[in-house]
Amino acid sequence: MTYPLDVVTYGVVVDGFCKTKNTDAALRLWRGMTTRESSQRGFPFFREMVTKSVQPDVVTYNSLIHGLCVEAMSLFEKMLSQNIKPNVFTCNILVDVLSKQGRMKEAFQIVEIMSQTGVKPNVVTYTSLIHGLCTLGHWNKVTKLFSEMVSHGISPYVHTYNVLIDYKCKEGEINEAHQIFEMMTGKGEKPDMITYNTLMDGYFHIFNDMKSKGLILNIATYNSLIGGFYKVGKVSEAKDLFKDMLDHGESPNLITYITLMDGLCKALELYNLLKINKLSLPVYTIIIDGLCKTGKLFEAKELFYNLSAKDLHPDTRTYNIMICAYC
């Protein structure tokens, strides 16, 4: 004769294992329980584990998550058996969870059920599937699914693009990531902070990799990095890159200074950073204009009158900037 074991029984056993410092056996017992029983039975035991100072590991959590997913699927099947039609939100929850777990076969089975029950996948459905395929490194399947989504008249949104950009950046394929970014903006989709942060992490990884290999960065690379850091509000990193560029003997160009001016929005910081460097008149004119526009008239005037000491002569534009500032 056999008797069913309940949580109390398991608790007594695990308590004994813990008292004898046999935590491995306690973990194995818990995993066995979550495999055989529902996750609702597993949760009290999980709490018991924690109170007994048995440290859960990734397998522990995976077991519990698996149990929850099994219950969710069981509930979904019960819903179908009772002729209750799921909607797109119901299905998206399951597709998202399964995709994040890498259980793509089951995720696509949900999509098939959606088709059978007349529920149309939306951009959230496709984005979840794309994320799951990216996690598994199945890029060919990703491109095929992306094309299918577009062919069905479903436009990708910012999160869809972010998933694609993130994958390419993690693969070190920064040029491809930037192409996706260009495609995104070209279709009128506005990037968010996640987009920029992901791209900058990718660029910075390439930057560090190039430096570690002794490769020389050119002015275009520096300008792209500096501008990117400003876009995501990383002012300190942008200024550090500019200093690094000067330290390595790379001469800033007009684009560099325009990028710095635009990013800092406070020309005084740039003025203090650059006053020891000899620049061309157009660059000084840009700096003077920025100082005037931010109310730093004293600094603008000082820089204006110091031009002659640098063998530079103000032109019409430079004079006009000063006249407009004081009128």
Tell me the pLDDT tens digit for each residue of 278-291: 667 887 887 788 77
- The tally of CA atoms less than 13 A away on the side-chain side of residue 146 is 18
Alpha carbons 173 and 205: distance in angstroms, whole number = 11
Residue type, 299: E
Helix H or strand E segment including 259:
helix 254-264
- Residue 7's pLDDT is 44
| Max Cα-Cα span within the chain | 104
Of residues 206 and 60, more confidently modeled = 206
Write down the domain spans for the chain: 1-82, 216-263, 266-327
| pLDDT tens digits, 62-116 | 666 666 767 777 777 787 778 878 889 888 988 998 999 899 999 999 999 999 9
Alpha carbons 265 and 249: distance in angstroms, whole number = 26
133 phi, psi to nearest 5 deg? -65, -35
Residues 6 or more apart whose CB falls under 8 angstroms from that of 155 comprise 123, 187
| pLDDT tens digits, 222-270 | 887 888 777 666 777 888 888 888 888 888 887 887 777 776 654 455 5
| pLDDT tens digits, 15-46 | 555 555 555 555 555 555 544 444 455 556 66
- Residue 273's pLDDT is 60
- Residue 321's pLDDT is 86
